[in-house]
Amino acid sequence: MISNDKKQEVLSRIREIEGFIISGGDGSISIGALCSRITAESAELANSSDSLTPILRTSLVINWRESAMKSRYERFVRTFPEISTLSALKRVMDDTEPLVFCKTYLNINANSLAAEKNPKYCLLKELTNGFLDYQKLFDLTSEIEAIRHWSASVDTADLKNDLIGKRHGVGPAVVENIRLNLGDRVVKPDRHVIGVMKKFLRVDIPLASYNEFARFLGKDPRYLDCICFEYGKAKGISA
């Protein structure tokens, strides 16, 4: 993938990232320490039976900061506890005008002309319908089983032939964000991660190779994703 000399150079730059101090919720913390904690916490997601969270969080984070997604996600869960599955969400979306749904359920102030084309609304609808169809197609017993079944087989290098990947608005970043929210050990190629990979680590490889590259370096892909994202956010590095 890269020469041994280049690998050592990349690992040296990673150590620089790991030692970089940022402001955390409890004060200052190194990126390495923060991401070690986040990586450990994400392992708990692998045992979750919640089918709504990975889809809702992924849809809400599109073109938004993580903090904005989190506040709207937490509001949704707190305000609408009866909507805890994709099936329940589909019923509400099918029975609610896009503008009303965006304002009431997602806390998005879209105008009447743009609501049905809002990227977050559209992606949420595509993913919800897509995974419910996927569950039926493979005759799987639960929604979360369907999402995990797909996650284990999806090829980000060939999304045009994937049942979920070919849907409007679904790309490598969406795929990997869903997988991160499932507790999968992956690198999500968002703009900060790509920016740090190319501009700081100085590695130019296909996005679909990021997970393999992490393992080549001897790093947990989830950890590499986290440190690149946090460093890119802190230093204003993006693709």
- Please report the pLDDT score of residue 112 as a whole number: 61
CA angle (77 as vertex; 59, 178 as ends), nearest 5: 30
Is the pLDDT confidence value at 24 over 80?
A: no
Q: What is the mean pLDDT of the chain?
A: 93
Match 């017993």 to its residue by tokens: 141
Which residues are CB-neighbours of 87 under 8 A, at least 6 positions away?
Answer: 132, 143
Tell me the range of 56-65, 103-112, 201-210 where mean pLDDT is highest.
201-210
What is the rounded distance in angstroms from the CA atom of residue 92 to the CA atom of residue 94? Answer: 5
- Please report the pLDDT score of residue 193 as a whole number: 95
- Please report the pLDDT score of residue 195 as a whole number: 97
Which backbone phi and psi does 48 adopt, to 5 degrees? -80, 145
Q: Is 202 strand, coil or helix?
A: coil
Residue 145, both tokens: 């089983």
CA angle (87 as vertex; 158, 136 as ends), nearest 5: 50
Is the pLDDT confidence value at 15 over 90?
A: yes
Is the pLDDT confidence value at 66 over 80?
A: no
Residue 181, both tokens: 């929210």
pTM higher than 0.95 for the full model?
Answer: no
Q: What is the pLDDT of residues 67-97, one digit of tens each?
A: 788 899 999 999 999 999 999 999 999 999 9
Which residues are CB-neighbours of 129 under 8 A, at least 6 positions away?
Answer: 90
Q: Is the CB of residue 213 less than 8 Å from the CB of residue 1?
A: yes
